[in-house]
């Protein structure tokens, strides 16, 4: 059975990272920010065999630390 992510890739959609639990990334510690991205990236890579190149912060919430990471 094909999952939604694999279906979207097969349809030609680009898959990006959006964090694991959808926090305001501008309000969490750098270590938590890294964990949010890495956990999602791991699941996407295991599921699809691909790594993402794009990341969209939830709520568009960014600051200097978010952008640096």
Euclidean distance between CA atoms 44 and 56, whole angstroms:
15
**Cα–Cα distance, 4 to 11 (Å, whole number):** 10
Counted residue by residue, the chain has a size of 69
Q: Sorting pLDDT into bands at 50, 70 and 90, what band is 65?
A: confident
Per-residue pLDDT, 1:
59
Please count the helices (runs of H) and the strands (runs of E) in the chain.
3, 0
Answer yes or no: is pLDDT of 10 > 80.
Answer: yes
């Amino acid at each position: 059975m094909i999952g939604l992510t694999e279906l979207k890739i097969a349809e030609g959609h680009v898959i990006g990272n959006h964090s694991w639990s959808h926090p305001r990334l501008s309000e969490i510690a750098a270590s938590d920010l890294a964990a949010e991205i890495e956990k999602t990236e791991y699941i996407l890579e295991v599921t699809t065999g691909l790594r993402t190149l794009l990341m969209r912060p939830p709520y568009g919430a960014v600051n200097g630390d978010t952008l640096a990471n």
